Amino acid sequence: MASVAGESVAAPSGPGVFAWRRRLRRNPWRRPWLMEGFTVLYIIWSIVPIAIAVLFSFNKGGSTATWQGFSTKWYVGNFAQSVLHNPELHSSVIQTLKLGGLTTLITVPIGVGFAIGIDRWRSRTSGGLNFLMIFSFVIPELLLAVALFLLVTQLLKFIHLGTTAEVAGLVVWNISWPAIIVRARLVTIGRTYEEAAADLGASRFGAMRRVLVPLLMPAIFASAVLVFASTVDDFVLVEQLSSTANTQPMSVLIYGNVHGGLSGPALNALATIMLVVSLLVALVGFIAYRWMTRGERTKGSTEALAGIAGM
């Protein structure tokens, strides 16, 4: 009470009111409206164009600028240019899913093994290999793609351009996902559980299979989701390493037809299918990740979101 009285004595009139208002403005719990508005504008800018592109995949006419009524002809109806009937569009969807599946199946096991091995086998060699792996993560994709193209056309000629070369390259490009994510999880788990299992008589394979792998499961799963999604999204590697039209996935087909070629809304339909595939994978990943980490003290959905986005 005394201090309040003292203050009001020191500043009886105008300036006191200003000081009070200034203090209100400094309220640390005030919502920063300006920053929130900026964030909302950014989100609108980042999402609305995509929503419009999805909308135009349902356009009745052949334009991607003027709305001419709703139709699904670019998906199923049109016999020449719908995704279902056009052989090029059709095979690109299959090729994308094929590459995603094969790459995930190869990358995740060898990446997880690599992460565990590097973490435990502490030596100069393992340090160097870890460095190499991080290097593969930051190198511009074009340089890797060009080098791989020269490798398979000049040296390892038994790897043919097409699906084989594409998968070989995509595995290199994606191996850092499981390697980095699983390694981070290994660090948080520590050795205690595994050592306890070993002390209780588990064999080294037993300790790994029954203790370590279950604990790593959320990280393994998150990296599988990321590898699949980033393969579906990939463009540079698959463009350099594909050969005939049969081995061109969706991204390459869209790139090749933007300036003429297949008609506009059909490309939007293709892109929308790609979007749905990615979002489904993300959704399944999110739900499964939450389920797998249900017993842990985490921040809940925020943590799971960060997990499947590789953060």
Partner 1 sequence: MGRADTYDRRNRWLWIGLTAPGAIWLLVLFVVPFYAMLAVAAGGVNPFFQISVPTWNPLHWSSTNLTAEWHAIVGTGSFIAAPALRTILYTAIATIISLAIAYPVAYFVSRYAGRRKTLYLVLLIAPFWVSYMMRMLAWIDLLQQNGFVNSVIGVVGLPSHTDWLGGKPATVVFGLVYGYIPYLILVLYAGLDRIDQSLLEAARDLGLSKWRAFWRVTIPLSKPTIIAGAFITVLPMLGDYFTNQLISAAPGTTMIGNVIEGQLNSPGQTGQGAVLALMLLVVLLIPMVYYAISTARASREFA
Interface with partner 1 in residues 2-31 (CB under 8 A): 26, 28, 31
Q: Which of residues 122-151 bind partner 1 (CB under 8 A)?
A: 122, 126-127, 129-136, 138-144, 146-151
CB of 46 to partner 1, least distance (A): 5
- Closest by Cα among 194, 182, 208, 144 to 307: 182
Size of the site for partner 1 (CB under 8 A): 102
Counting beta carbons within 10 angstroms of the beta carbon of residue 23, is it exposed (0 to 12), middle (13 to 18) or buried (19 or more)? exposed
The Cα–Cα gap between 168 and 175 comes to 11
- Closest by Cα among 129, 247, 101, 107 to 182: 107
Q: Tell me if 108 contacts partner 1 by CB under 8 A.
A: no
The Cα–Cα gap between 246 and 83 comes to 15
- Closest by Cα among 279, 254, 230, 276 to 89: 254
Q: Which two tokens stand for residue 4?
A: 């309040």
Q: Are 220 and 289 in contact (CB under 8 A)?
A: no
The whole-angstrom distance between residue 260's C-alpha and the CA centroid of its chain comes to: 30
Binding test (CB under 8 A) with partner 1, winner from 15, 77, 101, 113: 113
- Closest by Cα among 203, 208, 250 to 231: 250
Nearer to partner 1, 84 or 275 (CB): 275
CB of 212 to partner 1, least distance (A): 11
Q: Which of residues 62-101 bind partner 1 (CB under 8 A)?
A: 64-66
The DSSP result for 213-275, as a single string, is HHHHHHHHHHHHHHHHHHHHH--HHHHHH--SGGG--HHHHHHHHSSSSS-HHHHHHHHHHHH
Q: Which amino acid is at 91?
A: S
Considering only the stretches 7-15, 70-78, 116-124, 215-223, report the one whose residues sit in contact with partner 1 under the rule CB under 8 A: 116-124
Q: Tell me if 217 contacts partner 1 by CB under 8 A.
A: no
- Binding marks (x or -) toward partner 1, 276..305, rule CB under 8 A? --xx--x------------------xx--x
CB of 17 to partner 1, least distance (A): 21
Nearer to partner 1, 76 or 143 (CB): 143
CB of 149 to partner 1, least distance (A): 7
Q: Tell me if 185 contacts partner 1 by CB under 8 A.
A: no
Q: Tell me if 39 contacts partner 1 by CB under 8 A.
A: yes
- Binding marks (x or -) toward partner 1, 221..260, rule CB under 8 A? --------x--xx-xx--x----------xx--xx--xx-
CB of 12 to partner 1, least distance (A): 26
CB atoms within 10 A of CB 213: 13
Nearer to partner 1, 82 or 176 (CB): 176
- Binding marks (x or -) toward partner 1, 42..61, rule CB under 8 A? xx--xx-xx-xx--x-----
